Amino acid sequence: MSLALARFQRRQRANPLDYGRKTWMRLTMGVGFFFLYFPIVSLIAFSFNDSKRNITWQGFTLRYYEKAYENSQLHDAFLNSLIVAGISTAVSTILGTMLGLALYRFRFPLQGPYEGMVHLPIVIPEICMAVAMVSFFAAVDMPLGLTTITVSHIAFSIPFVAVVIRARMSGFDASLEEVSYDLGASQWQTFWHITFAYMKPGIMAGALLAFTLSLDDFVITFFTSGPGSTTFPIKIYSMVRFSVTPEVNAASTVLIVLTLALTVTALLIQSRTQGK
C-alpha cells in the first residue's frame, strides 16, 4: 500500500514539462550527441590503433605518434604555425585591446558604420576574405609566405579580441575611476592601476582566443601561404588529400588536444574572474 502510494506521489511529482525524463527526448538527445562525437572520438581512438588499414582495432600503439614526431615536414609545419600564431597573437591582442577599449569608452560620429566595418572580418565568408587578401598581396607585390599569413591572421583576430575585451569591460564599475581621480591619481595612474588591472583577464582570454584562431585557421592560410610556408593545418590537409593514415590521425589529435587545452584555459580565466 505504502509502496503504491509512493509510486503515485512520484508520478505526481513528475512534471509534464520535465522533457529530460522522457524516453523519446533522451533518445533523440543521445542520437544527437552520438552524431556530434562519433567522428572525432573514432578519429582520436584510431590514432592509437596498431594497423595501417585503420578500420579494425588491432591493439594499442604509440607508433604513429612517433612517426608523426619524426616527420620533419610535419615538424617544420608545426614550427611555422607556432611562429605565425605567436606573432599574430602579440600584435592582435594589443590592437584588439585598444579597439575594444575605444569602443567601450567613447561615443563618436559614424559609430554604427565604424563598428560594422571593424566587425566585418567575423561575419564575412572566409573564402571571400582569403581571395581579397590574395588580390591585395598581388597588387602590392608582396610575395606570399609567413609574413602574408601573419598579416592576414592579425586582421581577422583583432575584432575577436575586441569583442572579448568589450564583454569584459561591460562589467566594469566606472565609479572606481572617479574615486581614483578624486584621490589624486593622474590619468595614466588611474588607467594602469584601475582600468588595465580590471581588463587583464579579458586580455588573457582574448590572447588565447587569438592564438587558437591562428593555429586553427585553414582557409585564409591556404590562400595566403606560399612555397616553404606550410602551416600545421595546411600540412594535415595535404596529407589528407593523399590518404587516410593513422599518422594523420595522430597529428590531428595533437592539434585537437592543443586547441581544447587553450580554449578551456581561456574559459576558466573568464569564469573565475566573472564574479569579481
Partner 1 sequence: MDSWRRNKLAFAILALPPTAWLVIFFTVPLAIMWVYSFAERGPQGQIHLAVSFANYVRAVEWIHLGIIWKSIWIAAVTTLITFVVGFPLAMGIAFAPQRWKNPLLLLVILPFWTNLLIRTYAWIAVLRTRGFLNFGLEWVHEKTSALLALIGLPSVMGQFQPLELLYNQKAVVIGLVYVYLPFLVLPIYTTLEKLDKSYLEASLDLGAGQWRTLRSITMPLAMTGVISGCMLCFILSMGTFLTPELLGGTDSEMIGNLIARQFTSSRDRPFGSALSFLLLYTTFLILWVRASLAGRKGGPI
Q: Identify residues 116-135 at the interface with partner 1 (CB under 8 A).
A: 117-118, 120-121, 123-135
CA neighbours within 13 Å on the CB side: how many for 271? 6
Which residues inside 212-251 make contact with partner 1, applying CB under 8 A?
212, 216, 218-219, 223, 233, 236-237, 240, 244, 248-249
Sole binder of partner 1 in the list 6, 7, 34, 40 (CB under 8 A): 40
The three three-digit cell numbers of residue 121, written as one number? 572580418
Contact between 62 and partner 1 by CB under 8 A: the answer reads no
Cα torsion at 218, 221, 226, 229 (round to 10°)? -80
Largest CA distance in the chain: 88
Contact between 34 and partner 1 by CB under 8 A: the answer reads no
Contact between residue 221 and residue 272 where contact means Cβ atoms under 8 Å apart: no
Which residues inside 175-214 make contact with partner 1, applying CB under 8 A?
187, 212
Sole binder of partner 1 in the list 104, 160, 198, 211 (CB under 8 A): 104
- Give the integer Cα–Cα distance in Å for 49 and 45: 7
Q: How far is the CB of 63 from partner 1 (least distance, A)?
A: 18
Contacts 24+ apart (CB under 8 A), 267-271: 267/205, 269/201, 269/204, 269/205, 269/208, 270/168, 270/201, 270/202, 270/205
Whose Cβ is closer to partner 1: residue 101's or residue 203's? 101
Contact between 39 and partner 1 by CB under 8 A: the answer reads yes
Cβ within 8 Å of residue 1, ≥6 positions away: none
Q: How big is the site for partner 1, counted in residues (CB under 8 A)?
A: 81
Sole binder of partner 1 in the list 10, 11, 13, 107 (CB under 8 A): 107
Phi-psi region of 228 (alpha: psi -120 to 50; beta: other; left: phi over 0): left
Q: Computed over its alpha carbons, how large is the radius of gyration of the chain?
A: 25
Q: How far is the CB of 121 from partner 1 (least distance, A)?
A: 6
What is the per-residue binding string for partner 1 in 79-98, x denoting contact by CB under 8 A? Answer: ----------------xx-x
Q: How far is the CB of 1 from partner 1 (least distance, A)?
A: 30
Contact between 37 and partner 1 by CB under 8 A: the answer reads yes
Contact between residue 198 and residue 115 where contact means Cβ atoms under 8 Å apart: no
Q: How far is the CB of 85 from partner 1 (least distance, A)?
A: 13
Which residues inside 42-61 make contact with partner 1, applying CB under 8 A?
42-43, 46, 53-56
The three three-digit cell numbers of residue 263, written as one number? 580554449
Contact between 172 and partner 1 by CB under 8 A: the answer reads no
184: helix, coil or strand?
coil
What is the per-residue binding string for partner 1 in 136-165, x denoting contact by CB under 8 A? Answer: x--x-----------xx-xxx-xx--x---
Cβ within 8 Å of residue 53, ≥6 positions away: none
Whose Cβ is closer to partner 1: residue 3's or residue 125's? 125
